[in-house]
Structure 1
Amino acid sequence: MAKLRTYSKYARDAVFLLGQQIRLARKRRKWSEMNLAERAGISRATLQKIEAGEMSPAIGLVFEVASLVGVPLFEQDHQRLATSIDLTQSKIALLPKRISEQAHVVDDDF
């Protein structure tokens, strides 16, 4: 039996908001659920899960659907997005490859 994953309220709210923004954008384009699902190459049931803010759909599917209906995720401009990616990767490259937790010395001398 798979262990049930729990998510923070912030994460659940953010996914719900994104799903609602996708639904709004789809309806503004006057696309049916089936139409958008076909464009994204997913089932209608998966699209319904995305729009309902369920956590189970793969993040790549959610981002693709958002992109298809024009919901901005990060940068609208592809060049700015690429620059942000490069900058973030440069910062990651400066950090140590491995991160080990520091041993915490417990002061139990009462």
Structure 2
Amino acid sequence: MRDEDKPFIYYKSGSGVKISPRNAAGWRAFAVWMIAFFGATGVFVWTTAVAENAGWSDGKILLFLTLPFLLVTALWAFAMIRYMKARSEIVDMDSLIQLKREQDAKKKRRGQI
């Protein structure tokens, strides 16, 4: 995939990472991921409400519903990050900042001569 066609931008700086949609295709892909997450969350909330009405204790709900939902959420987030990273143009902010500092130092040296 050419860099111009990639739907996301992956900014990395030090230990921080930011992935953001770049164009309409990126926003559509992000929307699909979020709709899937909201759907799964809705199913979890509905299932929890049904379990409470059926007389399940808080311990059972925590063990049999909440922990699997949290595991699925972690897997979903990992998959989304991998998907977006594979389709991203990578921008290394540290190298850009270093380049900017070098250019500023050059301009400063030229002005002092």
Same fold (TM > 0.5): no
User: TM-score under structure 2 normalisation?
Assistant: 0.31
Greater relative contact order (CA < 8 Å, ≥ 6 in sequence): 2
Greater fraction of residues in helix? 2
| TM-score for the superposition, normalised by structure 1 | 0.32
